[in-house]
Structure 1
Amino acid sequence: MRTMHRVKASMLGLAVALTFGGCGILDVENPNNLKEENLELEASAQSAVNGTLSMVARAVADIWQPYMVASDEMYWIGSRDAWLSLDQGFLSDPFNEFTDAAFPNLASARWMADTTVNILAGHVANNPDGKFDGLYARANLYAGMVYMVIGEVQDDFAFSHKDAEAPPVGPANMSSVLDDAIGYLDEAVANSSGDMNTLARAVRARAHHSRAMWPKIKTPTPATPLAVSAAAVADAEYVLGEVGDDWQWDFTYDASTVANGLADWVNSRKENQFDLSFVSIDAAKNMSGVILLDPVDTGEPDPMIVSRLQHFKQATEFTGANKGDRYAPLTLVSADMMHLIVAENLLAGGDTPGFVDEINAVRGAYGLSDYDPGAAGALAPIAMLQRERRAALLIMGQRLGDMYRFGTVDPKWQPQSDALDRPGTLLPITIIERRANCYLEPNQTC
């Protein structure tokens, strides 16, 4: 099993409810009941940044699950019909209880991220000695993360500020959210060094690649589905020069901080499970093994998928007590992703040998045989890219976009579903925001 490198998403509170356990920062009776203005204190800066990371970690877990259930990464096995609706490709329903439950956490994480960036910008301006530069870089990094995920999974979004409604961005303009993510990540890169700088560049590589993917996702089966971004390649190559082939960065969760809602529904509640196209399940609906074989070493289950699932389950086996729990880590970026970004750009540019080298760099990290597109029965390069992205980027919030741009159809998608009738459909602004926002139906009173 490959070595995992993780950074902990420590939970200090929800929104402005930050805890300063006994450190005397604020004269309040209940340290969990702090006023918003206390966030602006310099002594609160680290807590604000850490709290932002916690909220982003929680939001990503919550919003990735409906996105994944709508793809062929997960399927519904439980009793809650709203998951079934997503599994069948109906994404746009604003009343779906699970997308509606996830939306407030995503929106609050976004608000907290913006608020924290603004606070830290003030501290940096007031402290030219650089005292707050590192926290400012982290604040921008976490803002870039949440904006990136919004741009990847949402069909629309409204950037309201507390009780001040904002108009929706509009589905045709959602690529601008990815542009904003890149802007935050530019700040994170410019104001960081060492491991933090490497991480910021890795996230920015993903954001640039997602920005290049966006028009491909929104065009049903585009003639040229490959995403091309020189900026993504530059960041990815920088990262690969700094890390080993087993590197990845995770949101992590535990009983003392925040739980992973996605893992809770899969591992504990068993409402959803990984798709039967690549795993087997037992009579109790627990995952029992990987059945999808590697496309080159065809005698063994794909070790990339095995590794991703072992990481999610935090176990080397998938039976009995190893079914996983509600604190599974979620990977945001990895060396595999960086290689695959470079590989895709090389393939788009006609450099098949370079593409093969990048694919084999990923495969080599798992002890797999080299891919040779000229070998008998070998997958064509573009098919190999799709296949390796599916395996190496499992549970990383990428699959539905890949399905749309490459024209992959989930057999569970129903006629008249959004996924079939309107390929490119992502998750909506849900009813909880619509009812509160005067720019949106059913209100539209602004």
Structure 2
Amino acid sequence: MMNRIKAPMAAFAAMVVLSGCNLLDVDNPNSLVEASIRQEAAANGVANGSLQLVSEAVADLWEGPEVASDNLQWIGSRDAWGSLDEGAVADPNNEFLDSAFPTLGRGVWMAQNAVEILEGHVAENPGVDAFVLDRARAYMFRGLILMVVAESQQDMTFSYKMTDGPAVSTGNATIGSEEFGATPVASMDAVMDLAITSLARAKTDFEALAEDDLALDATALLARAEMSEEIMSARNSAGGALAFADALPYANEVLTAAGAAADYKFNLNYSSASSGCDLCGNISDRKENQFDLSLVTVDASENVDGIALMDPITGTDDLALIDALAQFRGGSHLDAGTSFVPLTVASARLMNLIVAEHELATNGGGAGSGFEAAINALRDIDDSDAGYDFASDGVAANDVAILQHHRRVNTLLQGLRLQDMYRWGLTPTDAGSGPANRWQPGSTAVTAPGTMLPITIIECRANNFLDGNTCANTGG
């Protein structure tokens, strides 16, 4: 039997040798290489791929600061979430911040790569609107992810393929390839400036193409980016209302285009066929985290069974909070929810908040004030009945409290709450049996208010510009 097997095998081996055939040298028609996505036929796919990776990065990145804030609290078994809940926001070894960092890096790289690829297609095909549209979408997604980076990160690296990039804090960081013309980003403010430039470019192109809906999205994102850049400079000030002079025109433009009392939202969408949402799954499926007990009530199984935060005007369940919870649950605010629900990045609600805060900062409150009108325009989205209206008494502390409440319930799970807590000197309270302030006395959130997320250990160990143990800058 052995001889009968050996003979045909020997003949086959001889045939292979004589023909010069390499059995491992095969073409896989399903394999994709970088050159594939640079083809003009892939232009739309490149823009879509950017959106997919950016969406995943946003969901991963936002969960850390949301748990550190009083929007979410840890209820599960993984201690790293508990550390964030207690204010340890700057630990590069935190496993969940660390697992989010590569996703963030992929999202940033793909967003930048899409811009470079599509700029090339437009240059080689002048006057082809399809390429201009995809380029505009690529600029919008790059602007979106860089905005979120600047809002959420204390520091960041922008490596390119196999080439390490220095941390922004060194003043030597750049974004993009040398062939395209790398853009210097010497500070997180510069990262936000590039986000704003990218969004403005997208807005201009969308308007030129008469893509009104996309232009509206880019304008809303511009308003958020300009607002956040102002907040970045005030994260550790514990002050009152801020003037948003640069964001205000964009906010008003969105409100005019969307229409009075319209509940316009720019959402990132998730599904099993496209982008995953770890933030969604960790709340709805794994139950590692839950909405804060100052917002909701829960049953013995940690399922939401009611509203804890009352409306400051009516004293009843807050309607904006119910709307946000219902969106996250994919139905009723009391539903269990799923792992794939939309996350809002910009909205008419946020635009009204920008107008309201700017009015309070520049003109104050009081009866008939612009602040009062803007808050009521916001409240009209949920209930336009006159009995739901807010009447400002002109007392600054009271008006700021109204602003703070409406910011919280109208930006739930939008990556903005921790910054608001810092700038207003707020701390997370535990409405249950725990301590009055979950942030521990020695935590970064307490000792260095304003601190956002770090470059994490997975990047520090891979990047020659960073120490693999301490994450300190080494200079390469």
Contact persistence 2:327–2:333 (CA under 8 A):
no
Q: Tell me by how many angstroms 1:381 deviates.
A: 1.3
Q: Return the alpha-carbon distance in structure 2 between the equivalents of residues 435 and 133 of structure 1.
A: 39
Q: Return the alpha-carbon distance in structure 2 between the equivalents of residues 228 and 53 of structure 1.
A: 31
Contact persistence 1:156–1:169 (CA under 8 A):
yes
Mapping of 1:2-401 within 5 angstroms? 29-31=28-30, 33-131=31-129, 132-170=131-169, 173-193=187-207, 194-217=212-235, 219-222=236-239, 225-244=240-259, 245-298=262-315, 300-318=316-334, 322-352=335-365, 353-367=369-383, 369-374=388-393, 380-401=398-419
Contact persistence 1:94–1:428 (CA under 8 A):
yes
Report the secondary structure of 2:427's partner residue: coil
Contact persistence 1:372–1:378 (CA under 8 A):
no
Q: Tell me by how many angstroms 1:378 deviates.
A: 11
Q: Tell me by how many angstroms 1:73 deviates.
A: 0.4
| Pick aligned residue for 2:422 from 384, 387, 404 | 404
Q: Which residue identity lines up with residue 159 of structure 1 in the other structure? A: F
Report the secondary structure of 2:345's partner residue: strand
Q: Return the alpha-carbon distance in structure 2 between the equivalents of residues 234 and 440 of structure 1.
A: 41
Unaligned runs of 5+ in 1: 1-26
Contact persistence 1:213–1:226 (CA under 8 A):
no
Q: Return the alpha-carbon distance in structure 2 between the equivalents of residues 29 and 324 of structure 1.
A: 40
Q: Tell me by how many angstroms 1:211 deviates.
A: 0.5
Q: Which residue identity lines up with residue 373 of structure 1 in the other structure? A: S
Q: Return the alpha-carbon distance in structure 2 between the equivalents of residues 267 and 95 of structure 1.
A: 25
Contact persistence 2:223–2:248 (CA under 8 A):
yes
Q: Which residue identity lines up with residue 174 of structure 1 in the other structure? A: M
Q: Which residue identity lines up with residue 183 of structure 1 in the other structure? A: T
Contact persistence 2:36–2:42 (CA under 8 A):
yes
Contact persistence 2:303–2:336 (CA under 8 A):
yes
Q: Tell me by how many angstroms 1:30 deviates.
A: 4.3
Q: Return the alpha-carbon distance in structure 1 between the equivalents of residues 364 and 475 of structure 2.
A: 54
Q: Return the alpha-carbon distance in structure 2 between the equivalents of residues 177 and 288 of structure 1.
A: 41
Report the secondary structure of 1:425's partner residue: coil
Larger radius of gyration: 2
Q: Tell me by how many angstroms 1:187 deviates.
A: 0.8
Q: Tell me by how many angstroms 1:441 deviates.
A: 1.7
Residues 30/313 of structure 1: CA separation in 2 closer, same or farther (3 Å cut): farther
Report the secondary structure of 1:412's partner residue: coil
Aligned to 2:13: none
| Pick aligned residue for 1:414 from 414, 437, 440 | 440
Report the secondary structure of 2:80's partner residue: helix
Report the secondary structure of 1:113's partner residue: helix
TM-score (structure 1 length as normaliser): 0.89
Q: Which residue identity lines up with residue 120 of structure 1 in the other structure? A: L
Q: Tell me by how many angstroms 1:317 deviates.
A: 4.5
Q: Which residue identity lines up with residue 111 of structure 1 in the other structure? A: W
Residues 360/102 of structure 1: CA separation in 2 closer, same or farther (3 Å cut): same
Q: Which residue identity lines up with residue 464 of structure 2 in the other structure? A: C
Contact persistence 2:462–2:468 (CA under 8 A):
no
Q: Tell me by how many angstroms 1:370 deviates.
A: 1.0
State the number of aligned residues.
411
TM-score (structure 2 length as normaliser): 0.84
Q: Which residue identity lines up with residue 417 of structure 2 in the other structure? A: R
Q: Tell me by how many angstroms 1:37 deviates.
A: 1.8
Contact persistence 2:166–2:475 (CA under 8 A):
no
Q: Tell me by how many angstroms 1:228 deviates.
A: 2.4
Q: Tell me by how many angstroms 1:230 deviates.
A: 2.1
Q: Tell me by how many angstroms 1:422 deviates.
A: 0.4
Q: Tell me by how many angstroms 1:351 deviates.
A: 4.5
Query: Percent of counterpart pairs with the same letter?
Result: 41
